[in-house]
Chain A
Amino acid sequence: GEDVEQSLFLSVREGDSSVINCTYTDSSSTYLYWYKQEPGAGLQLLTYIFSNMDMKQDQRLTVLLNKKDKHLSLRIADTQTGDSAIYFCAAPRHSGYSTLTFGKGTMLLVSP
Chain B
Amino acid sequence: EAGVVQSPRYKIIEKKQPVAFWCNPISGHNTLYWYLQNLGQGPELLIRYENEEAVDDSQLPKDRFSAERLKGVDSTLKIQPAELGDSAVYLCASSARTGDHNEQFFGPGTRLTVL
A interface residues with partner B (beta carbon < 8 Å): 4, 30-31, 33, 35, 40-45, 48, 88, 90, 92, 96-100, 102-105
Contact = CB atoms under 8 A, between A and B. Distances in A.
Interface of B: 4, 33, 40-45, 48, 56, 91, 93, 97, 99-109
Contact of B42 (A40, A42, A92, A103): A103
B29 to A, nearest CB: 14
Contacts, number: 56
A29 to B, nearest CB: 10
Contact of A102 (B42, B101, B102, B105): B42
B102 A98 contact: yes
A74 B99 CA distance: 24
Given A40-B108, A42-B91, A100 B41 contact: no
Contact of A41 (B41, B105, B108): B108
B104 A100 contact: yes
Contacts of A35: 106
Q: Is the interface of B mostly helix, strand, loop or mixed?
A: loop
B59 to A, nearest CB: 9
Contacts of B40: 104-105
B100 A30 contact: yes
B7 to A, nearest CB: 13
A41 B48 CA distance: 21
A99 B91 contact: no
Contacts of B102: 31, 92, 97-98, 100
A99 B42 contact: no
